[in-house]
Amino acid sequence: MAQQTLAIIKPDAIERNLMGEILKRIEATGLRVRALKMVHMDKEQAKGFYAVHSDKPFFDSLTDYMSSGPAAVAVLEAENAVDAYRSLMGATKPEEAEVGTIRKEFALDIEKNSVHGSDSPENAEREINYFFNQLEIVN
């Protein structure tokens, strides 16, 4: 059964015109793009998306950053989409990310780390529903 995950190309990557480069790597890995759009979240929308981190010391800074400019959000699909995309992204801390991963190559720091991906199928469902309705996702 095909699995879906939510990907975000974050404001730091959009600002540096890296969207095409990142989408190229996503497609080259075999992940299928089932939905894609630009969003510019306001602070409240960023807080809603990252609600799971609301008690973290970096929450205010993270939600300021995620609402600071446009991002691209996408639904990706593959048999093992959550893990496949997390492997392609690399570790959250760019200095810990493996060579060849998106974050190793493009992340600026732990916050401006260029991309987000759901960490489980359950969170993927919640995160996809946060940005997309069913009409926006192709089969």
Residues that bind ligand CMP (CB under 6 A): 53, 58, 62, 92, 110-111, 113, 116
Q: Is 40 a catalytic residue?
A: no
Q: Whose Cβ is closer to ligand CMP: residue 16's or residue 53's?
A: 53
CA 125-133-10 angle, 5° bins:
65
State which residue, 68 or 92, has the beta carbon closest to ligand CMP. Answer: 92
**Nearest residue (CB) to ligand CMP, 62 versus 102:** 62
Give me the catalytic one of 34, 116, 124, 131: 116
Active site residues: 116
